[in-house]
């Protein structure tokens, strides 16, 4: 009886683990390779995770930038204001900072 209970518990644990693995997206990262702080960004590119993290978050109101859509944020990188997707680093827009 004890062996049966252990076997059922092990099967339940295995089924739970396999189910959660199948629910994960195939591409976990979504981020590109890092380009470094001196890279000049273009719309349609993807920032690397470290590039995104090291770019300073920008208040769009203070910089007279348009309000970012849901899931996007303005960042400043190498004299550029970059509007990118928070989850993947996909760049939607780039504005050169003319104040530099």
pLDDT digit of tens for each residue in the chain (100 aa)? 666 555 555 555 444 444 444 444 444 457 999 998 889 999 999 999 999 999 999 999 999 999 999 999 999 999 999 999 999 999 999 999 876 5
Long-range interactions of 63-71: CB distance < 8 A, separation 24+: 65/95
Of 15, 35, 13, 11, the residue nearest 23 (C-alpha) = 15
Domain boundaries, the chain: 29-100
Distance of CA 16 to the CA centre of its chain: 27
**Considering the entire predicted model, what is its pTM?**
0.68
Domain at 29-100: CATH code: 3.10.450.160
Whole-number pLDDT of residue 30: 79
8 Å CB contact between 95 and 80: yes
């Amino acid at each position: 009886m004890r062996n049966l209970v252990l076997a059922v518990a092990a099967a339940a644990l295995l089924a739970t683990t396999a189910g959660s693995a199948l629910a994960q997206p195939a591409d976990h990262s979504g981020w590109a390779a890092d380009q470094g702080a001196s890279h000049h960004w273009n719309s349609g590119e993807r920032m690397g995770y470290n590039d995104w993290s090291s770019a300073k978050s920008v208040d769009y109101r203070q910089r007279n930038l348009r309000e970012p859509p849901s899931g996007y944020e303005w960042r400043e990188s190498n004299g550029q204001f970059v509007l990118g997707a928070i989850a993947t680093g996909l760049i939607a827009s780039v504005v050169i900072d003319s104040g530099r």
